[in-house]
Structure 1
Amino acid sequence: MEFLIKISQFLLSLSLLIVLHELGHFIPAKLFKTRVEKFYLFFDVKFSLFKKKIGETVYGIGWLPLGGYVKISGMIDESMDTEQMAKDPEPWEFRSKPAWQRLIIMLGGVTVNFILAALIYMFMAFAYGETDIATSSIKDGYWITNPLLIEMGAQTGDKVVSVNNETVENYSDLRAKLIEAKTIVLERDGVEKTITTPEDFLGQLSTGDDKTFFQLRIPFVVAQVPDSSLNKNVDLKQGDIITGINNTKLKYYDEYAPFLAQLKGQTVQVEALRDTKPISRTLQVDEDGKFEIAAYSNASGKTLEKLGYYNIVTKSYSFGESIGVGANMFTEQISSYWTQLGMIFNPNTGAYKGVGGFKAIFDIFPNTWSWEAFWGITAFLSIMLGVLNLLPIPALDGGHVMFLLYEMISGRKPSDKFMEYAQMVGFFILIALVLFANGNDIFKALFK
């Protein structure tokens, strides 16, 4: 069931983005009286799952879910229809239109992607508001388990003072800031310490088994007592919060392992909370220093706030306010993605090792249905699709835009034969990138 929920969100999001992107090309093409021969969701290699001709355009769904396309007459595109290009230009063909019209047609897809992302952020701000944890309320620092961060000098209990000399006010912003971090100022026992990230920080992070950053320290929340556990007959329920052992208060889950290591094979008295009411239970500690009880890796924001761990900041916005908030979210996301893309194309950062394909995108979606999460991920993917399509690779929109700008500036139009060769080169570059990204997914699945 969890797989069906994830795959449903994945396919719905990609289908929506692909159709709207191609619609961004389709609408200006029709406005400029340019013939559109095909409008397809997914690729129809050899055959289609569905197709219907309406007017001069065939609308369909292909079987290969690697994207979609509109086939515009008189244009060198992924169809490589050189036979049509060998004929004299017709007035309804793309190549017969003025350069400014062709530029608008080619920019239509990414324009729709960016507008869609901005609109989603605006409506999310209006519908859901913002819920976050104020970093100022994180009094006991963060939970550090990543060996890379530990090697750099961070440890559990450290507070983050600044990243790249900027204070991070909300916990949700911390991960994005750390990805781009060159310097991180930490506070430990009232003393500040500056650590410098290695140039290939992202590369090392991508290839490591632990990809966590500065995690919230959470209480020991019982998820399950397995039938194989020494404590299977103890009255502990899902959601119970263990707060101490033998009259010693233990606030955070990360405190239990070192404490239990000293109590191997012993019987201990445990204090806990059930629906905020204190309870006491007798538990066995196994020879490895464990209760053999599964704990949640996170806890709900409401639970953490109720217990006084963190301050949850909730903001509601009017429709007018949500426009500015959404626009700001869009600007921050697109700026961050451009920065990360630049790091990927810089071999020294090693960020290319973290590039993923369809599985990486699939893994972003939660295994429970959440419209808030769905729309947030869809907005981010829309930005990603728009930015990637602007890359100056001939097979992408950005490649066509590059040649159109050259034509408008120089007054010389590249020949159809040159465009054909450029499209072939771009196509092979694109295939190589797709194979590399999805190959990374396969490598991680097999060897991690």
Structure 2
Amino acid sequence: MDIAIRIVQLLFSLSILVFIHELGHYSMARFFGARVEKFYLFFNPWFSLFKWTSKRSGTTYGVGWLPLGGYCKIAGMIDESLDTDAIKSEPKPDEFRSKKPFARLMIMAGGVIFNILLAFVIYTGITLVWGTKVLHSDQVTSGMTFSRTAQSVGFVDGDVILKVDDKVAPNVLDSRFMSSLINAREVTVRRGQEEKTIQMPQDMMHQLLKAEEGFGSLRLPFVVDSVSSTSPAHGLLASGDRVVAVDSTACSDINEVVTALQAKKGGSVTLSIDRAGEILAQTLPVDTAGHIGIVLRGVEEIYPIEHVSYGLLSAIPAGIDRAGQTISGYVRGLKYIFTKEGAKQMGGLGTMGKLFPTSFDWQSFWAITAFLSIILAVMNILPIPALDGGHILFIIIEMIRRKPLSDRAMTTIQTVGLVLLLLLMLYANGNDIYRSFFGH
């Protein structure tokens, strides 16, 4: 059921993204007077669920049965379909090939432009509807747990982040927080009663990719919220109790306590409890599922999270900033794709599907859709034949040479680009399949 929910979200998101992308090409083509032959939501091999042809424009609008995006076919253009029949005749004024280079460039850039605008609109909407949650890093009193790679450059589990470069106490709930740590020049932490400054290596991301590790995660203490009257912990644990050790082994994070309880399934454990500053020892049974019959406090009840609301005028610049920061962060990370370690991390539909939660939530859905819209825009602008960026490159070359490439050259380059693109897609999705079976 969890997989099905993720698949539905992925297909819905991709349908929105590709429709908007193709709408960008369509809108620019119509604006510059180029005829659009077909505009489809979803693909339609063999048959369409619905189609209608406009008598005024001659465009066929339709809905296909294969929910994997959509397409916009512009007259007089050699696209990924490699259909060259239309260009065998003399150019018509309303064809793509008859338009001036700038008009053709804008038509090809339309998809990327619309995807970026979509991300901006979504981020603005998220900010306006849900606001933002702020938890300053210096208020995460339990600090962070760090990977072995992060520890190798000087971090110690429990370090509290005080400053990242010039940013004092950044918001740990910001999706860019972890990226800012990885790309920082220096990070100041509180370790016990002391402050330490850690110089970050320039190849931090490369080291993490090589080790196939993340940077770290926030620590959340194991704090009891409630105990039912039928629970074996009733009378032993109380609301507000914080577990600091299991069988004399110190635990400062929920995951550490849960792991220790899982190791004691069907047995019993002795928990060291911090109750209003007093340390108590309580022995209680653990059921066969590794549970002790309590409800835990959530992060918002443990740490002082501030909710910031926005009006329309303040949400717009916040949306622009978030979109801009996400684009710059993704572009910076592109260079790692061309490394051995980065290539191993590439993924296809499976990786994208895992971005979505296993239960539907509108805020998460739109945030992930905005991020995927940026990925689609950035990937499409790359100067690779068969992508929009490849077409744009051809047009720029034409503007420099003052004459276009031959139709034969265009077809050959498009064919090579399409083959390379298909191989890349097979590799990325093959990585997903490999990881699903071998866990890497």
Greater Cα offset, 292-301 or 126-135? 292-301
Task: Name the counterpart of 2:219.
Answer: 216
Match of 2:320 among 318, 323, 327: 327
User: Matches of 1:410 and 1:299 in 2, distance apart?
Assistant: 66
Pick from 84, 89, 110 the counterpart of residue 82 of structure 1. Answer: 84
Q: Secondary structure at the match of 1:47?
A: coil
Structure 2 unaligned spans of 5+: none
Alpha-carbon distance, 1:446 to partner:
1.2
1:317-337 Cα deviation digits (max 9, x unpaired): 111111111111111111111
| Mapping of residues 232-251 of structure 1, within 5 Å | 235=234, 242-244=241-243
Number of the residue aligned with 2:59: 57
Residues in 1 aligned to 2:96 and 2:390: alpha-carbon distance in whole angstroms:
16
Q: Counterparts of 1:265-280 in structure 2 under 5 Å?
A: 268=270
Match of 1:428 among 419, 432, 437: 419
Distance 1:325 1:258 in 2: 40
Give the CA deviation at 1:72: 0.9
CA deviations over 1:229-255 (Å, ceiling 9, x no partner) = xx9855599x97652479999764366
Q: Say which of 375, 381, 389 aligns to 1:384.
A: 375
Say which SS state the counterpart of residue 426 (structure 1) adopts. helix
- Answer yes or no: is the 8 Å Cα contact 1:343–1:351 preserved in 2: yes
Structure 2 SS opposite 1:131? strand
Q: Which residue is equivalent to 2:352?
A: 361
Following the alignment from structure 1 to structure 2, what is the Cα–Cα distance between the partners of residues 251 and 236? Answer: 23
For 1:166 and 1:98, the matched residues in 2 are separated by 47
Pairing 1:27-176 to 2, within 5 Å after superposition: 27-44=27-44, 46-55=45-54, 56-144=58-146, 146-163=147-164, 167=168, 169-171=170-172, 172=174, 173-176=176-179
Contact 2:134 2:306 in 1 (8 A): yes
SS at match of 2:161: strand
Q: Look up the SS of the partner of 1:386 in the other structure.
A: helix
Return the offset for 1:166.
5.0
How far apart in 2 are the matches of 1:370 and 1:257?
26
Report the residue type matching 1:300 in the other structure.
G
Alignment match of 2:337 (pick from 341, 344, 348): 344
Contact 2:182 2:204 in 1 (8 A): no
Residue 370 (structure 1) aligns with = 361
Q: Secondary structure at the match of 2:145?
A: coil
- Which letter does structure 2 place at the counterpart of 1:97? K
Provide the C-alpha distance between the structure 1 equivalents of 2:294 and 2:382, rounded to a whole number of angstroms: 42
Deviation at 1:157, TM superposition (A): 0.7
Across the aligned residues of Structure 1 and Structure 2, the Cα RMSD in angstroms comes to: 4.0
- Give the corresponding residue for 1:317: 310
Say if 1:152 and 1:9 are closer, same or farther in 2 by CA, change over 3 A: same
Residue identity over aligned pairs, in percent, reads: 35
Matched residues in 1 for 2:296 and 2:121: separation?
31
Q: Is the 8 A contact 1:218 1:298 kept in 2?
A: no
Q: What residue number does 2:5 align with?
A: 5
Distance 1:258 1:19 in 2: 45
What's the secondary structure of 1:143's corresponding residue?
strand
Q: Deviations over 1:140-177 (max 9, x none)?
A: 32123x33334444332112344466555110232122
Moved more, 216-225 or 105-114: 216-225
Cα distance change of structure 1 residues 272 and 353 upon mapping to structure 2, 3 Å threshold: same
Q: Secondary structure at the match of 1:60?
A: strand
- SS in structure 2 of the partner of residue 39 of structure 1: strand
SS in structure 2 at match of 1:52: strand
Report Cα offsets for 1:25-82 as digits up to 9, x if no partner.
Answer: 11221233322122223433x4245241322223334455554321111101011112
- 2:240, 2:35 → 1: CA distance? 65
Please give the alpha-carbon distance, in whole angstroms, between the structure 2 residues aligned to 1:257 and 1:121: 35
SS for the counterpart of 2:198 is strand
How far, CA to CA, are the matches of 1:388 and 1:32 in structure 2?
25
Which residue number corresponds to residue 307 of structure 1?
A: none
Summarize the Cα distance change of 1:42–1:246 in structure 2 as closer, same or farther, 3 Å threshold.
Answer: closer
Q: Which residue of structure 2 aligns with residue 292 of structure 1?
A: 290
1:404 and 2:404 are equivalent in the alignment = no
Q: Residues of 2 paired with 1:296 and 1:103: CA distance?
A: 61
Structure 2 Cα separation of the partners of residues 296 and 49 of structure 1: 54
Give the TM-score of the pair, scaled to structure 2: 0.83
Structure 1 423/258 Cα, relative in aligned 2: closer, same or farther at 3 Å?
closer
Deviation at 1:201, TM superposition (A): 3.9
3-state SS of 1:69 partner? strand
Amino acid paired to 2:41: L
CA deviations over 1:391-419 (Å, ceiling 9, x no partner):
00120111111111222233111111111
8 Å CA contact 1:222–1:295 kept in 2: the answer is no
For 2:199 and 2:99, how far apart are their aligned partners in 1?
57
In structure 1, stretches of 5+ residues that fail to align are: 226-230, 274-278, 305-309
Question: Do the aligned partners of 2:220 and 2:299 also contact (CA within 8 Å) in 1?
Answer: no
Q: How many residues align?
A: 424
> 1:276: which partner in 2?
none
- CA gap of 1:379–1:188, structure 2 versus 1, over 3 A, is same
Letter in 1 for 2:344: K
Partner of 1:192: 196
Please say which of residues 411-420 and 34-43 is displaced more in the overlay: 34-43
Task: Encode CA deviations 1:204-241: one digit per residue, 9 max, x unaligned.
Answer: 44763x6462323332569999xxxxx9855599x976
Letter matched to residue 140 of structure 1: S
Shift of 1:282: 4.5
Partner of 2:181: 178
Instruction: For residue 49 of structure 2, give the secondary structure of its aligned residue in structure 1.
Output: strand
Q: CA deviation at 1:134?
A: 0.9
SS class of match (2:72): strand
Q: In the TM superposition, what whole-angstrom CA distance separates every residue of 1:169-197 from its partner, at most 9, and x where no partner exists?
A: 11023212234356555442314152545
